[in-house]
Amino acid sequence: MGDTTNPPSRTDSPASRSATPKKQVRILMLHGYTQSGPLFRAKTRALEKLLAKALAPIGLVPSLLYPTGPNRLSVKDIPGYEPRDGCGGASAEDEDNMIDSWAWFRRDEATGRYRFLEEGMRRLAEVVSEARVKVGGEGFVDGVVGFSQGGCMAGMLASAMEEGREVVVPEEHQGWLRAVREANGGRALKFAVIYSGFYAVPQDLAWLYAPKIKTPTLHFLGSLDTVVCESRSQGLLERCEDPMVLTHPGGHHVPVSKEWVMPLAGFVKKCLEEEGEGTKL
pLDDT for 101-126, tens place per residue? 999 999 999 999 999 999 999 999 99
- pLDDT of 223 over the 80 cut: yes
CA nearest 237: which of 254, 205, 213, 262?
Answer: 213
For the residues 168-195, what does the mean pLDDT come to?
97
Is 65 in contact with 26 (CB distance < 8 Å)? yes
Determine the topology of domain 23-274 in CATH.
Rossmann fold (3.40.50)
What is this structure's pTM? 0.87
Q: Is the peptide bond before 7 cis (omega within 30 degrees of 0)?
A: no
CA nearest 248: which of 274, 222, 281, 277?
Answer: 222
Report the alpha-carbon distance of residue 213 to residue 209 in Å, rounded. 6
Is 190 in contact with 142 (CB distance < 8 Å)? yes
Per cent of the chain over pLDDT 90 is: 73
Query: What is the per-residue burial (b if ≥16 Cβ within 10 Å, else e) of 175-187?
Result: ebbebbbebbeee
